[in-house]
Structure 1
Amino acid sequence: MGANEFGLSEKIEGKTNEILVSIFCSAYNHELYIRDAIHGFLEQRTNFRYEIIIHDDASTDKTAEIIKEYEQKYPKLIKGIYQTENQYSKCDENRKYLYIYNQIIKNCRGKYIASCDGDDYWIDPKKLQMQADYMEKHPECVMTAHNQIVADCKDFKIMPFNTGIESGMIDPSELIQQKISLQPSSRMYIRKALKLNRFLREFGIADYPFLLYLLEKGSVYYFDRIMSVYRRNTKGSWSESVTSCMENKMFFVLEMIDLVETYNNDTRKKFNIACICQIQRMAYYALDSFGEKSKEGFIEWCQKYEMHLNKKHRNILERLMKIYRMISNIEYLDEALCEFTRNNPKLFIMGCGKYAGIIGRKLEFHKIKFEGFVVSDNQEKPEEHLKKPVWRLSDIDKKDSSIIIGISPIIWEEIISAIEERGIVNYICPFLI
């Protein structure tokens, strides 16, 4: 393949010596995919110089040979870093990502870093130019990203990654709750933002913690334009390893909850509601993973692995176990809920679904009196639920009424908005981790 096919002379001649963008690509056993990635880099059309840094972590296939082939053809553009021993496997979970951080700092010269995994690839030759142009004009912006195609290597489905999201600044709460997902191969961020703090030292610069870290540094802009392909569930990929067994799912959830709780505290609860919602989402992802298995299944798993966890993760696991007992055992009432029912005689249960039913049956089992159920004002209201009357929030006395929230806290933002809008201050959610 000749140099002119990729317009090599356009990239080098007549441009300033300063490297504006460094492309950083991590590869391991990507011989089936790495050519696509490199072609996407070489096909970029820019009015500035960029470099391509490809780190091979001692692949056992022909990945390194392929990288060297292109490095020899394009020595002014491509720099390969070749490990003789796999560095990723030598590090603990967080050090793995700090190792990548060190490689970026050591080898990348650009003002901006454009990342791409070796099994993903770019399909738009204007990608780098568009992202760099925006960031040059908006110094407050620390990262740009764009839409992409998801190609699932397990079920062979192809679809857009994000739908219904327009170009523009991204609300941090949307990123924290992962309502918008910005895969690494779509991102370009400013290099000077790469400064290790306590949070990054603890959790590394993996995709999600690094994204949270950047939210504190400036704004994030999104292009609703498909400019890359994200391969999901490739052999040996992170997505495959997390979903492959229950143990991996649970360890992932514990780490994620720890991460978001730490971030919420470190930022002095700047994004408190969004963080709470994300924590609940991860908790119920874990609980729901057991599906219709026996009630003992989750508790057995917890007891099996509890002693292998650090103190913070054990604490999270205990809270998950409490919620699981609340859901699965009609006799179980946690201490906080017991005290709430003793101190507040005029009780209402918010909701008319699964979780409200669980609370209602628990209270009846323990012969605890409650008035009935309430729903938000914009919700359809049945006349009765479990043979108890149903009111709207606006119909009850906000001064004397106390509410037990019987709704999945995954939608905590909506729940709190509805309650506080009515001026109700006395409430508890027994399903909140």
Structure 2
Amino acid sequence: MQKLKNRPDVSVVMITWGHEKFIEQAIEGVLNQSFDGRIELLISNDCSPDNTNQVITSYLANRPVPPHIEIRYFNHNKNRGSMKNFIWTICKSEGSYIAMCEGDDYWTDPEKIQKQVNFLRENQDCNLVYHRVMLCHEDGSLKEEDLNTANESYKRSVEELAEKGNFMHTASVMFRNNIEFPENLEFSHIGDYPIWFLNGEVGKFGYLPEFMGVYRLWGGSIWGTKGLSYKGLNWLGVLSGLVKYTRDKNLKKLLKLQATNVFTWISFRELDRKQKFRLLRYIFQLKPSLLAQMVGKAMGKYNK
């Protein structure tokens, strides 16, 4: 594998676990990038239980790498967990900008990195820029995501992120390599939203309305195909951690407001005993007034 002599302009963070069917396509989307600077691709395999490592090593041994790209492959012999592996890999990044692409997603536009770097160079008030993606279902069909509008560009703030929740897919994001990661953010079952929050503390979120990547929905996905109760419980955990982290009173208020809305996703009957105790803890941390709703759910008032 070729080693770049100078610091890369862009680091691409690609965490992977159990992605033997998809990892080649993810890597190929990065190697196809046409860019006027240097790129490093960091692949971090979190001790996959399948043949992901063999697929990666074989592919890298046979695929010519463009001269402006360096690949750094880390194959962990012990599972770190998604969030810890995510942050560990980001902290290994040496580029001025960091782009994301998990091992089951992929990029479709060879100008993606160039367009996003150009945007951040021209918009110094933004610390992050994202774009629209297509959603790939298990049958291979593609559908346009509906988190963002199609025909306009705009900038968003951390206040909007705190109040409304996530509006960015991981494979669409690039941000400046200028943030630090508090240890207490490793609590999260969801890696991207806390990272977007940290970016929002130092700048706005820029947006490009083009479709330049694909987010895959499949059975092994950490998030995409999970049920609402699973998502709701884990999202409350994320919000609880961010409430404890931020010192901004307005952001605390907005995060708690979002928690109230998220709570409606959860069916109390679908949770096991351990999950119910987790839910109770999050409620006390976030907004004790939710307790009355929880009791009502337990009695069947909300889940007939």
User: Is the structural similarity TM-score above 0.5?
Assistant: yes
- 1:204-242 Cα shifts (integer Å, max 9, x gaps): 88111111121111111010010000012x232112574
Q: Is residue 9–residue 96 contact of structure 2 (8 Å, CA) maintained in 1?
A: yes
Offset of 1:174 from its aligned partner? 3.2
Aligned residue among 19, 33, 36 for 1:30:
19
Structure 1 counterpart SS, 2:167: coil
Gaps (5+ residues) in structure 1?
Answer: 1-7, 89-95, 291-296, 333-353, 355-433
Structure 1: which amino acid aligns with 2:134? I
CA RMSD of aligned residues (A): 3.4
Tell me whether 1:53 sits opposite 2:42 in the alignment. yes
Structure label with greater radius of gyration:
1
Q: Percent identity?
A: 24
Structure 2 counterpart SS, 1:208: helix
Structure 2 counterpart SS, 1:224: strand
Higher normalized helix content (fraction of residues):
1
Q: Is residue 258–residue 312 contact of structure 1 (8 Å, CA) maintained in 2?
A: no
Q: Is residue 131–residue 172 contact of structure 2 (8 Å, CA) maintained in 1?
A: yes
Offset of 1:63 from its aligned partner? 1.7
Offset of 1:181 from its aligned partner? 1.3
Q: Is residue 54–residue 67 contact of structure 1 (8 Å, CA) maintained in 2?
A: no
Q: Is residue 98–residue 204 contact of structure 1 (8 Å, CA) maintained in 2?
A: no
Structure 2: which amino acid aligns with 1:258? S
Structure 2: which amino acid aligns with 1:63? T
Aligned residue among 293, 298, 301 for 1:323:
293
Q: Is residue 151–residue 159 contact of structure 1 (8 Å, CA) maintained in 2?
A: no
Tell me whether 1:237 sits opposite 2:221 in the alignment. yes
Aligned residue among 45, 50, 65 for 2:54:
65
1:267-306 equivalence runs, <5 A: 267-271=247-251, 274-286=254-266, 289=267, 297=269, 304-305=273-274
Tell me whether 1:170 sits opposite 2:156 in the alignment. yes
Offset of 1:272 from its aligned partner? 5.6
1:77-88 equivalence runs, <5 A: 77-88=70-81
Distance, in Å, in 2 between the alignment partners of 1:213 and 1:60 is 32
Distance, in Å, in 2 between the alignment partners of 1:105 and 1:139 is 22
Report the TM-score when normalising by structure 2. 0.81
Structure 1: which amino acid aligns with 2:13? F
Distance, in Å, in 1 between the alignment partners of 2:258 and 2:252 is 10
- 1:276-296 Cα shifts (integer Å, max 9, x gaps): 43122111122xx36xxxxxx
Report the TM-score when normalising by structure 1. 0.59
1:252 maps to which residue?
234
Distance, in Å, in 2 between the alignment partners of 1:249 and 1:190 is 29
Number of residue pairs the alignment of both structures matches: 293
Tell me whether 1:143 sits opposite 2:140 in the alignment. no
Greater RCO (Cα-Cα under 8 Å, separation 6 or more): 2
Q: Is residue 19–residue 109 contact of structure 1 (8 Å, CA) maintained in 2?
A: yes
Offset of 1:57 from its aligned partner? 1.6
Q: Is residue 223–residue 231 contact of structure 2 (8 Å, CA) maintained in 1?
A: no
Gaps (5+ residues) in structure 2?
Answer: none
Distance, in Å, in 1 between the alignment partners of 2:276 and 2:212 is 46
1:368 maps to which residue?
none
Structure 1 counterpart SS, 2:115: helix
Aligned residue among 184, 188, 197 for 2:170:
184
1:110 maps to which residue?
95
Distance, in Å, in 2 between the alignment partners of 1:251 and 1:274 is 18
Offset of 1:323 from its aligned partner? 1.9
Tell me whether 1:100 sits opposite 2:86 in the alignment. yes
Structure 1 pair 150–104 and aligned structure 2 pair: CA distance change class (3 A): same
2:211 maps to which residue?
226
1:415 maps to which residue?
none
Structure 1 pair 257–139 and aligned structure 2 pair: CA distance change class (3 A): closer
Offset of 1:65 from its aligned partner? 1.9
Q: Is residue 53–residue 80 contact of structure 1 (8 Å, CA) maintained in 2?
A: yes
